[in-house]
């Protein structure tokens, strides 16, 4: 295996073991660095792991890198985190810079190659500001797409299934137009616990754990830089930096500032609106309680199927089938493996050339952001 592809872990346990083994290396320059875990309930050994350290002299700024909020996306996230620890950490200044690396926000999803957690909650719809954000009245338009997104029969013939999918999509597009359809689908919903983009009825344990970590960092440092790793959205061979809807600068300004070619804002024009987004939560927390400090938080979105019409249509198809498989099973093992394989390619592509370009893009973004934010 080539050295770049070797960054991408085989399974959750191997990824976590590698993450934990970084501690000794980090302690060479951050002697107070510590490894901590939050164990999820149940018999399984599933933990949210983090390595954290204060600066050695003055806590001026903190660098935060998080992965695996959408479990299956944690494989690419883990690769990027390891890349950062090996190539960029040696260039940060321990005297003034503290650290927080989080491995697998959603360890259950990472282990079982699902996006959601064990309660079928999309954690990136669970970071709502205030519990009224869990209201079942949010996104009433989801009712119109529910039966399309969440079929209730066993998976049978995929060719017939595809025809039904395209027919259903055309009907919905005629009724709602493309932006209405995307909004209803992607915003998040709080009514259908087995449905796609379900945001939960309360804060999930994973969410609470992360909120505590973010709050602690904002209390201790004057400047916060946070990078969160995701996959699945955007062009296949160009990672997108997705800024929060709360970030005031324009995407064009960030392209220049970071010397990075593709920056989009998470608003309906450039990306899509999201309820309960984790990065939005950081901005909310900052604006309400820590606005005298400096915050920049963003998402790396590594595209996989691409933004051609094939990719745009095939991504929801793969997600619908995987969720249907989870609840209603498939008529044969070969159908099952096909669905699992397509879902894996949507969030954790196997190709060496994809791995190489993804790491090169991450390098370019790390360089540009660290430089612009004064970390190098």
Determine the Cα–Cα distance for residues 89 and 80; give it in Å rounded to an integer: 12
Out of 113, 226, 230, 317, point to the residue binding Zn ion (CB under 5 A). Answer: 230
**Residue 279 in 3-state DSSP?**
helix
Q: Is 111 in the site for Zn ion (CB under 5 A)?
A: no
Determine the Cα–Cα distance for residues 120 and 202; give it in Å rounded to an integer: 13
In the complex with Zn ion, which residue's Cβ is closer, 62 or 346?
A: 346
Piece of the chain touching Zn ion by CB under 5 A; list 12-20, 47-55, 65-73, 237-245: 65-73
CB neighbours of 367 closer than 8 A, spacing ≥ 6?
259, 376
In the complex with Zn ion, which residue's Cβ is closer, 96 or 348?
A: 348
In the complex with Zn ion, which residue's Cβ is closer, 69 or 94?
A: 69
Cα torsion 276, 280, 283, 288 to 10°: value is -30
Piece of the chain touching Zn ion by CB under 5 A; list 25-33, 53-61, 222-230, 326-334: 222-230
Task: Give residue 100's Cα distance to chain centre.
Answer: 17
Smallest distance from the beta carbon of 73 to Zn ion, in angstroms?
5
Piece of the chain touching Zn ion by CB under 5 A; list 38-46, 50-58, 206-214, 224-232: 224-232
Q: Which two tokens stand for residue 38?
A: 């939050």
Cα 68 to Cα 31, 33, 71, 73, 104, distances in angstroms: 27, 22, 5, 5, 4
Smallest distance from the beta carbon of 152 to Zn ion, in angstroms?
25
In the numeric block, the tokens 């205030």 are attached to: 130
* End-to-end C-alpha distance for the chain, whole angstroms: 32
In the complex with Zn ion, which residue's Cβ is closer, 49 or 73?
A: 73
Smallest distance from the beta carbon of 229 to Zn ion, in angstroms?
8
Determine the Cα–Cα distance for residues 168 and 174; give it in Å rounded to an integer: 10
Q: Is 113 in the site for Zn ion (CB under 5 A)?
A: no
Angle at 335 between CA 157 and CA 330, to 5 degrees: 80
Piece of the chain touching Zn ion by CB under 5 A; list 10-18, 73-81, 176-184, 212-220: 73-81
> DSSP characters for 148-174?
HHS--SPB--HHHHHHHHHHHHHHHHH
CB neighbours of 335 closer than 8 A, spacing ≥ 6?
155, 156, 158
In the complex with Zn ion, which residue's Cβ is closer, 155 or 187?
A: 187
Smallest distance from the beta carbon of 43 to Zn ion, in angstroms?
28
CB atoms within 10 A of CB 192: 16
Smallest distance from the beta carbon of 279 to Zn ion, in angstroms?
11
Q: Is 70 in the site for Zn ion (CB under 5 A)?
A: yes
In the complex with Zn ion, which residue's Cβ is closer, 61 or 70?
A: 70
Piece of the chain touching Zn ion by CB under 5 A; list 7-15, 69-77, 104-112, 279-287: 69-77
Among residues 74, 101, 133, the alpha carbon closest in space to that of 275 is found at 133
In the complex with Zn ion, which residue's Cβ is closer, 70 or 226?
A: 70
Smallest distance from the beta carbon of 363 to Zn ion, in angstroms?
21
In the complex with Zn ion, which residue's Cβ is closer, 33 or 104?
A: 104
In the complex with Zn ion, which residue's Cβ is closer, 197 or 260?
A: 197
Site for Zn ion (CB under 5 A): how many residues? Answer: 3
Residues that bind Zn ion (CB under 5 A): 70, 73, 230
């Amino acid at each position: 295996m080539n050295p770049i592809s070797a960054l991408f872990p085989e399974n959750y346990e191997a990824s976590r073991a590698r993450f934990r083994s970084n501690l000794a290396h980090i302690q060479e320059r951050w002697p107070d660095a510590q490894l901590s875990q939050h164990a999820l309930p149940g018999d399984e050994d599933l933990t949210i792991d983090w390595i954290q350290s204060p600066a050695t002299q003055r806590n001026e700024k903190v660098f935060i890198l998080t992965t695996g909020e959408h479990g299956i996306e944690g494989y690419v996230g883990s690769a990027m985190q390891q890349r950062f620890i090996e190539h960029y950490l040696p260039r940060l200044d321990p005297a003034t810079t503290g650290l927080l690396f989080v491995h697998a926000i959603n360890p259950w999803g990472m282990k079982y190659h699902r996006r959601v957690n064990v309660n079928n909650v999309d954690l990136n719809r669970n970071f709502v500001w205030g519990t009224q954000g869990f209201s079942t009245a949010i996104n009433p338009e989801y009712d119109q797409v529910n039966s399309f997104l969440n079929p209730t029969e066993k998976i049978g013939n995929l060719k017939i299934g595809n025809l039904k999918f395209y027919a259903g999509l055309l009907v919905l597009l005629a009724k709602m137009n493309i932006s209405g359809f995307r909004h209803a689908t992607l915003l998040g919903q709080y009514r259908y616990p087995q449905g796609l983009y379900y945001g939960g009825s309360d804060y999930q344990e994973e969410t609470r754990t992360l909120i505590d970590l973010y709050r602690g960092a904002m209390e201790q440092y004057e400047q916060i830089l946070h990078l969160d790793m995701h996959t699945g959205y955007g062009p296949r061979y160009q990672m997108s930096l997705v800024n929060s809807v709360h970030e005031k600068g324009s995407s064009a300004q960030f392209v220049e500032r970071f010397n990075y070619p593709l920056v989009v804002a998470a608003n309906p024009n450039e990306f899509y609106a999201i309820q309960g987004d984790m990065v939005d939560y950081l901005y909310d927390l900052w604006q309400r309680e820590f606005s005298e400090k400096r915050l920049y938080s963003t998402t790396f979105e590594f595209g996989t199927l691409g933004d051609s019409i094939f990719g745009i249509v095939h991504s929801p198809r793969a997600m619908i089938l995987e969720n249907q498989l989870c609840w209603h099973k498939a008529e044969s093992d070969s159908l099952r493996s096909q669905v699992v394989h397509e879902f894996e390619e949507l969030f954790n592509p196997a190709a060496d050339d994809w791995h190489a370009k993804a790491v090169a893009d991450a390098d370019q973004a790390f360089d540009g952001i660290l430089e612009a934010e004064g970390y190098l």
